[in-house]
């Protein structure tokens, strides 16, 4: 049995009852976190742009645009919600995927689910299936896929969103294979656009395109039924012939579920996940040794060779670029002793104090600081040298929020409320948290969407 057929078989045959209880809890937690990130993204300028764009399309209003007094077609709602969910880079991530899973999956699930009246239990099932497909693709194609310049949130995320939507629609083997074939031709996304509004747009595209692929397949639209393994198919083109491992993709589907191992990291900071171990280290050093910015001579962040390829803005000119700048993240951590939503703004990027401190930060690489996708480890060693000759260092291997060092249910709920505060009342926010805690008992997810509108 070839790769496409095996993936389709997994999508068709996997049901809610096969998901371990702890996996269900993970889905509820990351979904609440993603809803919060989406509400925070609605309050961002790009949230205004994308909701205006969707509103102007005038499509059939059947699915909620989160945060807005607006309904759109399921595809347009998925586009808007996916873009807003990734707008602030505050959403979850997976090192195996080399991307952000929930911003592709949840917007597609909610938009199609609201239109079709699915239950919370079906939404959880669809999420687990979608994440399994995109995560296993990531394990077989990365790091080569990522190194070629593809943004996996869009490329692999499109395939995951299609799988999730196929599961919700109950498509058979043949139509599921068609959906994967359609989705493969919709996938794209270039890493060169990191630090711009187009990076979050990738998430919206993956959610929309995966949804469209499944709905077209449901209607009888056709595609190549062997799209994953074909000579000019997804794996060869997005990774290179002979550069991917088909057995890694399909050899252990659901055994264990990727939702549990390697799991998903929830962010305590609204910046690229590659900066989080350094932020943990820097904030520890600042507070432990009461480091003042005016006393700093130099800062070095020693990391693995992948991080400079991801954190491409050493002299950021905007808040968005600052999210992909080790130098900026380190500088604001020293200056303000925190790294929250208010630290990643255009004003902060241009603040003379930040600009001056950014110049003192260097990033080097060491071969022993290896990325470990199995435990989502991005180790760094941060060294701060003061003008009086004192030197402090801190190594962090696994960032806070990683499945090995997870945020608690209470921490995730507080993060959600903080993100939702500009858009939802405290009463509504509390109701959303309560509903998400019991998502598997929800008969129709329309009740959830009414709360986040």
Both 379 and 284 in one domain: the answer is yes
User: What is the 3 state secondary structure string of 179-194?
Assistant: HHHHHHHHCCCEHHHC
Q: For residue 294, what pLDDT is reported?
A: 96
Both 261 and 373 in one domain: the answer is no
Say how many domains are in the chain: 2
Instruction: Please write the tens of the pLDDT for every residue from 67-106.
Output: 999 999 999 999 999 999 999 999 999 988 999 999 999 9
Both 262 and 277 in one domain: the answer is no
Both 247 and 277 in one domain: the answer is no
- Contacts by residues 282-287 (CB-CB < 8 Å, ≥ 24 positions apart): 282/329, 282/330, 282/333, 282/334, 282/382, 282/384, 282/394, 283/333, 283/337, 283/338, 283/339, 284/394, 284/396, 285/382, 285/384, 285/392, 285/393, 285/394, 286/333, 286/334, 286/337, 287/337
Both 149 and 12 in one domain: the answer is yes
Instruction: Please write the tens of the pLDDT for every residue from 309-327.
Output: 889 999 999 998 999 999 9
Q: Is there a domain that residue 207 lies in?
A: yes
Q: For residue 202, what pLDDT is reported?
A: 98
Both 354 and 389 in one domain: the answer is yes
Q: Is the pLDDT of residue 373 over 60?
A: no
d(Cα 88, Cα 92) in Å, to the nearest integer? 11
> 4-8, 32-36, 339-343 — which is least confidently predicted?
339-343
Per-residue pLDDT, averaged over 28-43, amounts to 97
Q: What is the domain-level CATH number for residue 357?
A: 3.30.1330.120
Q: Is there a domain that residue 425 lies in?
A: no
What percentage of the chain has pLDDT greater than the value 90?
A: 92
Per-residue pLDDT, averaged over 120-131, amounts to 98
Per the CB < 8 A criterion, the answer to whether 203 and 104 are in contact is: yes
Per-residue pLDDT, averaged over 148-162, amounts to 98
Per-residue pLDDT, averaged over 432-452, amounts to 97
| Residue 337: pLDDT band with limits 50, 70, 90 | very high
Q: Is the pLDDT of residue 306 over 90?
A: no
Q: Is there a domain that residue 14 lies in?
A: yes
Q: Is there a domain that residue 286 lies in?
A: yes
Q: Is the pLDDT of residue 383 over 60?
A: yes
Q: For residue 227, what pLDDT is reported?
A: 98
Q: For residue 378, what pLDDT is reported?
A: 84
Q: Is there a domain that residue 120 lies in?
A: yes
Both 277 and 195 in one domain: the answer is no
Q: For residue 325, what pLDDT is reported?
A: 96
Both 178 and 128 in one domain: the answer is yes
Per the CB < 8 A criterion, the answer to whether 186 and 158 are in contact is: yes
Domain that holds residue 202: 3-268+430-452
Q: For residue 73, what pLDDT is reported?
A: 97
Q: What is the domain-level CATH number for residue 27?
A: 1.10.4100.10
Helices (H), 117-197: 120-141, 144-147, 152-169, 173-186
Higher pLDDT, 276 or 377: 276
> 8-12, 57-61, 232-236, 369-373 — which is least confidently predicted?
369-373
Mean pLDDT of the chain: 95
Per-residue pLDDT, averaged over 368-397, amounts to 87
Please name which of 325, 389, 384 lies closest in space to residue 358, comparing C-alpha atoms.
Answer: 325
Q: Is the pLDDT of residue 58 over 90?
A: no
What percentage of the chain has pLDDT greater than the value 70?
A: 99
Q: Is there a domain that residue 224 lies in?
A: yes
Both 228 and 124 in one domain: the answer is yes
Q: For residue 376, what pLDDT is reported?
A: 59
Both 254 and 288 in one domain: the answer is no
Per-residue pLDDT, averaged over 51-73, amounts to 93
Per the CB < 8 A criterion, the answer to whether 130 and 160 are in contact is: yes
Q: Is the pLDDT of residue 374 over 70?
A: no
């Amino acid at each position: 049995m070839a790769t496409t057929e095996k993936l389709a078989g997994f999508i068709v045959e996997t049901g809610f009852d096969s998901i371990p209880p702890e996996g269900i809890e993970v889905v509820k937690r990351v979904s609440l976190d993603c809803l919060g990130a989406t509400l925070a993204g609605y309050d961002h300028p790009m949230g205004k742009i994308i909701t205006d764009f969707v509103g102007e399309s005038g499509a059939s209003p059947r699915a909620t645009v989160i945060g807005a007094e607006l309904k759109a077609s399921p595809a347009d709602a998925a586009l808007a919600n996916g873009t807003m969910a990734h707008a602030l880079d505050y959403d979850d991530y997976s090192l195996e995927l080399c991307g952000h899973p929930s911003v592709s999956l949840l917007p597609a699930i909610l938009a199609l689910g609201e239109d079709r009246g699915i239950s919370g239990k079906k939404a959880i099932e669809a999420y687990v299936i979608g994440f399994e497909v995109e995560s296993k693709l990531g394990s077989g194609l990365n790091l080569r896929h990522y190194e070629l310049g593809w943004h996996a949130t869009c490329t692999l995320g499109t395939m995951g969103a299609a799988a999730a939507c196929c599961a919700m629609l109950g498509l058979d083997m043949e139509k599921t294979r068609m959906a994967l074939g359609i989705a493969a031709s919709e996938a794209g996304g270039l890493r060169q656009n990191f630090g711009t509004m187009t990076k979050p747009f990738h998430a919206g595209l993956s959610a929309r395109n995966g949804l469209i692929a499944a709905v077209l397949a449901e209607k009888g639209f056709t595609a190549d039924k062997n799209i994953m393994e074909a000579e000019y198919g997804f794996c060869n083109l997005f990774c290179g012939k002979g550069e991917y491992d088909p057995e890694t993709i399909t050899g252990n589907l659901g055994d264990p579920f990727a939702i549990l191992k390697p799991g998903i990291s929830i962010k305590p900071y609204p910046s690229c996940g590659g900066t989080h171990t350094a932020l943990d280290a820097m904030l520890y050093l600042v507070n432990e040794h009461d480091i003042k910015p005016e006393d700093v001579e130099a800062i070095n962040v020693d990391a693995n060779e992948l991080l400079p390829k991801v954190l491409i803005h050493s002299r950021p000119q905007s808040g968005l670029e600052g999210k992909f700048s080790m130098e900026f993240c380190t500088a604001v951590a020293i200056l303000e002793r925190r790294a929250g939503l208010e630290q990643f703004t255009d004003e902060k990027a241009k603040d003379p104090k930040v600009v001056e401190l950014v110049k003192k930060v260097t990033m080097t690489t060491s071969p022993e600081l290896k990325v470990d996708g199995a435990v989502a480890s991005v180790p760094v060693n941060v060294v701060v040298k003061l003008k009086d000759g004192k030197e402090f260092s801190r190594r962090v291997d696994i960032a806070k929020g990683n499945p090995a060092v997870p945020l608690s249910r209470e921490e995730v709920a507080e993060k959600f409320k903080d993100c939702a505060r500009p858009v939802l009342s405290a009463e509504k926010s509390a109701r959303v948290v309560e509903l998400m805690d019991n998502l598997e008992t929800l008969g129709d997810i329309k009740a959830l969407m009414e709360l986040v509108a």
